[in-house]
Amino acid sequence: MKQRAGLGTALAVVAFLTFFLGPFFWQVLTSLWPDGELTRPWPSHLTLENYVSVLWGRPFLRVVLNSLVVAALTTVFCLVIGSAAAFALAKLEFRGKGLLLSAALAVSMFPPIATVSPLYLILRAVGLRDSLVGLALPYATFAMPLTLWVLTSFFRQLPDELYRAARVDGCTPFQAFRRVLLPLAAPGLATTAILVFIFAWNEFLFALTFLTTPEKRTVPVAISLFASEYREPWGEIAAASVVATLPLVVLTVLFQRSIVSGLTAGAVKE
Amino acid sequence: MSAGGGDDAMTSQVPGPVGPGRARGSLERERRQAYWLVAPAVLVLAAVALYPILAAVWLSLHRFILVFGERRFVGLGNYAYLLGDARFWSALGNTAYFTGVAVGVELLLAVPLALLLQRAFPGRGLLRAAVLVPWAIPTVVSARLWAWMFNPDYGLINRLLLGSDINWLGAPGYALHAAILVDVWKTTPFVALLVLAGLQGIPEDLYKAARVDGASPWRTFRSITLPLLKPALLLAVLFRSLDAFRVFDAIYVLTEGGPANTTETLSIYAYKTLMRSGDFGYGSTLSVATFLCVVVLAAVWLRLLGRQEEAR
């Protein structure tokens, strides 16, 4: 009986690992497959030529840089504004707290297609349509609610006594936030930053709609439009995918504990 | 936050020794500062969500072709057209089918996966990290990855199904299911994490009691795990179905809505109308219709969740 349970577990683990990792490994293998041999059942040797042509033959490094800029801008913007609000939501008394948190949750459920046409017109009107800075603003639609929920739950975990002690020592609420609670919330800030960064790095619809200059494309847009004149360059697409994904995979595996706690923080504890 | 000036103003209000008269003023001041602290976030949310959604409703009442600069008020004309638009109803049907099947399959896979992740066995850390890989991969990249797997001539799937030459993304019956598979691969990990968090909230004592009573594992699962997991499952269904209903990235990359519009979802149809035809009036009508569907879906799930809370 006991052994059967062990075997069942092992089979289930192998099945899930194959399903979740198999396609990714196939992509890595494809990226190393010599271009002319994709029609064969197995490559005769492995090569880095796809990586060379992606990184040097195309403006792909530029694209990666664009994505870095947009994701970093979004992260900093939302963390600066969101941390102050999250602190107030967790530690201060004021009316409309519940309303604000529910509103944030509702906004995170907005289908991006619902707001894309007015956002397009607004960004065009202020001259920020085809710009990376202009792209970071609408990213707040999903990044700000995420920041508020994850950080509020982090600030709630810090003892109220800390805040009260700081107040008794003569700090204003804002000073108590900046000098006492914010430094203690550093792990929460890091978790939030990773989540917001990943979401911004992966966003597609807004980037596809607002950016028209090829040099300004972000990674998902560039990969979706990746093509050559004659046929789909599968090897190069695979290489570009690996380059665009590997940093995220490493980040995720390294910080899996905090990512999981951040992802489920708002959802389950409420 | 403006650093210098604001700081000085706040330092000057350092409260003295706490007395009965001061406590009230201090609370009042605390409330005022709270409003200042949340104000920027509220403004941002209003600017990127509240205003655009209202503006979309307003745009949907117009005939508005961007390139011609033509713009005039037509009242509910676009909505009347929407009701008779067969392509809209087919997109709504595709979206509902995609959402229902994808979320259903994800739950069926996520519960055993979560039960597995909760157990202690060698390699659990590896599995935990591995399930996050599809979650971290950008949807566009995962769609491209699967498009290559689905390639009729050299893709992995047809290689494994020896001799098969099914055109997964080009045949009407297959393409939508191929898109569902991509969604399942990418989001089952997230559902499993939500379920796992729910599992960890079930008191260990209950399982002990069941073991003492000699209940079989299946009976324990049916009578203890499943009922106590229901709130977590409903929550996962709420999040995932609202997310699946707005599906865009995966389908845009896999098929762009083809073949013959059989994979066209509401977001895809609205996007094509807005950005390809430049029809900001009817495109906004489709966007607002998508939004209303999501609102109805959310209201239904929230009611079910609320009833669940009451029952406890």
Interface test with A, best of B26, B144, B188, B248 (most A CBs within 10 A): B144
Domain count, chain A: 1
Nearest to B106 by CA among B203, B161, B173, B186: B186
Is A23–B201 a contact, with Cβ atoms under 8 angstroms apart?
no
Cα separation, B63 vs A33, in Å, equals 52
pLDDT the model gives residue B153? 84
Interface test with B, best of A17, A18, A20 (most B CBs within 10 A): A20
Is A268–B128 a contact, with Cβ atoms under 8 angstroms apart?
no
pLDDT 10s digits, A139-175: 998 999 999 999 999 999 999 999 999 999 989 889 9
pLDDT the model gives residue A3? 47
A21, part of any domain: no
Whether residue B12 is predicted with pLDDT greater than 50 in this model: the reply is: no
DSSP A215: G
Average pLDDT, chain B: 88
Nearest to A115 by CA among B283, B8, B147: B283
Q: Can you give the residue ranges of every domain in chain B? A: 21-51, 86-311
DSSP letter string, chain B? --SHHHHHHHHTT---S--HHHHHHHHHHHHHHHHHHHHHHHHHHIIIIIHHHHHHHHHTTEEEETTTTEEEE-TTHHHHHHHT-HHHHHHHHHHHHHHHHHHHHHHHHHHHHHHHHHS--TTHHHHHHHHHHHHHS-HHHHHHHHHHHT-TTT-HHHHHSTT----TTTSHHHHHHHHHHHHHHHHHHHHHHHHHHHHHTS-HHHHHHHHHTT--HHHHIIIIIHHHHHHHHHHHHHHHHHHHHT--HHHHHHTTT-STTTT--HHHHHHIIIIIS-BHHHHHHHHHHHHHHHHHHHHHHHHHHHHHHHH-
pLDDT 10s digits, A116-136: 999 999 999 999 999 999 999
pLDDT above 70 as % of chain A: 95
> B84: distance to nearest CA of chain A, Å?
21
Note if the pTM is more than 0.80.
Answer: yes
> B33: distance to nearest CA of chain A, Å?
7
> A252: distance to nearest CA of chain B, Å?
7
> A5: distance to nearest CA of chain B, Å?
11
pLDDT the model gives residue B2? 40
Cβ neighbour number for residue B65 with a 10 Å cutoff: 15
ipTM at complex level: 0.91
Question: Across the interface, which of B11, B127, B286 has its CB nearest the CB of A16?
Answer: B127
Cβ neighbour number for residue A35 with a 10 Å cutoff: 13
Whether residue B275 is predicted with pLDDT greater than 80 in this model: the reply is: yes
Whether residue B1 is predicted with pLDDT greater than 80 in this model: the reply is: no
Q: Which residues pair with B64 in a beta bridge?
A: B71
CATH code of the domain containing A211: 1.10.3720.10
A2, part of any domain: no
Instruction: Using an 8 Å CB-CB cutoff, list chain B residues near A26.
Output: 145, 148-149, 156
Where residue A1 falls among pLDDT bands split at 50, 70, 90? Answer: very low
Query: For helices A256-269 and A140-157, what crossing angle results, to 10°?
Result: 90
pLDDT the model gives residue B24? 65
Whether residue A24 is predicted with pLDDT greater than 50 in this model: the reply is: yes
Whether residue A267 is predicted with pLDDT greater than 70 in this model: the reply is: no
pLDDT 10s digits, B231-256: 889 989 999 999 999 999 999 999 99
Whether residue A83 is predicted with pLDDT greater than 80 in this model: the reply is: yes
Q: Map residue A57 onto helix, strand or coil.
A: helix
Instruction: Using an 8 Å CB-CB cutoff, list chain B residues near A13.
Output: 116, 121, 123, 127
Nearest to A141 by CA among A83, A199, A54: A199
Give the residue from chain A lying closest to B279, CA to CA.
A117
pLDDT the model gives residue A230? 61
A42, part of any domain: no
- More confident site: B257 or A1: B257
Whether residue B128 is predicted with pLDDT greater than 90 in this model: the reply is: no
Whether residue B20 is predicted with pLDDT greater than 50 in this model: the reply is: no
Which CATH number, 1.10.3720.10, 3.40.50.150, 3.40.50.360, 1.10.10.10, labels domain B86-311? 1.10.3720.10
Instruction: Using an 8 Å CB-CB cutoff, list chain B residues near A14.
Output: none
Instruction: Using an 8 Å CB-CB cutoff, list chain B residues near A7.
Output: none
Cα separation, A269 vs B235, in Å, equals 11
Instruction: Using an 8 Å CB-CB cutoff, list chain B residues near A41.
Output: 159
Is A23–B14 a contact, with Cβ atoms under 8 angstroms apart?
no
pLDDT the model gives residue A233? 86
Is A244–B138 a contact, with Cβ atoms under 8 angstroms apart?
yes
Beta-carbon contacts of residue A199 (< 8 Å; ≥ 6 apart): A139, A142, A143, A146
Where residue A228 falls among pLDDT bands split at 50, 70, 90? Answer: low
Give the residue from chain B lying closest to A39, CA to CA.
B154
Is B138–A204 a contact, with Cβ atoms under 8 angstroms apart?
yes
Question: Across the interface, which of A13, A94, A256 has its CB nearest the CB of B35?
Answer: A94
pLDDT 10s digits, B179-200: 999 999 999 998 998 899 899 8
pLDDT the model gives residue A59? 85
Q: Which residues pair with B72 in a beta bridge?
A: B63
- More confident site: B34 or A42: B34
Mean pLDDT value of segment A26-43: 88
Q: Which residues pair with B73 in a beta bridge?
A: B62
Whether residue A51 is predicted with pLDDT greater than 90 in this model: the reply is: yes
Question: Across the interface, which of B123, B129, B196 has its CB nearest the CB of A256?
Answer: B129
Query: Which residue segment(s) compose the domain that A92 sits in?
Result: 59-269
Beta-carbon contacts of residue B192 (< 8 Å; ≥ 6 apart): B109, B110, B113, B114, B117, B131
Whether residue B16 is predicted with pLDDT greater than 70 in this model: the reply is: no
Whether residue B15 is predicted with pLDDT greater than 50 in this model: the reply is: no
User: Taking a C-beta distance cutoff of 8 angstroms, is the pair B266, B242 a contact?
Assistant: no
pLDDT the model gives residue A268? 47
Mean pLDDT value of segment B15-23: 49
Cα separation, A67 vs A132, in Å, equals 9
pLDDT the model gives residue A266? 55
Whether residue A269 is predicted with pLDDT greater than 70 in this model: the reply is: no
> A268: distance to nearest CA of chain B, Å?
7
Q: Is A28 exposed, middle or buried (0-12, 13-18, 19+ CB in 10 A)?
A: middle
pLDDT 10s digits, B103-126: 999 999 999 999 999 887 877 888
Is B141–A241 a contact, with Cβ atoms under 8 angstroms apart?
yes
Of A96-105, B127-136, B276-285, the range with the lowest mean pLDDT is B127-136
For chain A, first and last CA: distance in Å?
A: 40
Give the residue from chain A lying closest to B59, CA to CA.
A118
pLDDT the model gives residue B23? 62
Long-range contacts of A4-7 (CB under 8 A, 24+ apart): none
Nearest to A78 by CA among A133, A135, A145: A145
Cα separation, B290 vs B82, in Å, equals 12
Take residue B274 and report the two structure tokens written for it.
């807005």
pLDDT 10s digits, B161-172: 887 888 889 888
Is A234–B151 a contact, with Cβ atoms under 8 angstroms apart?
yes
User: Taking a C-beta distance cutoff of 8 angstroms, is the pair A41, B154 a contact?
Assistant: no
Residue B70 main-chain phi, psi, to 5 deg = -80, 125
Mean pLDDT value of segment A232-255: 88
Is B246–A111 a contact, with Cβ atoms under 8 angstroms apart?
yes
Q: How many CB pairs under 8 A join A and B?
A: 288
pLDDT the model gives residue B17? 45
pLDDT the model gives residue B307? 84
Q: Is B5 exposed, middle or buried (0-12, 13-18, 19+ CB in 10 A)?
A: exposed
Cα separation, B240 vs A84, in Å, equals 29
Where residue B294 falls among pLDDT bands split at 50, 70, 90? Answer: very high
pLDDT the model gives residue A39? 80
Cα separation, B142 vs A220, in Å, equals 10
- More confident site: A55 or B284: B284
Whether residue A229 is predicted with pLDDT greater than 60 in this model: the reply is: no
Question: Across the interface, which of A85, A110, A137 has its CB nearest the CB of B38?
Answer: A85
Take residue B204 and report the two structure tokens written for it.
């260990």
A5, part of any domain: no
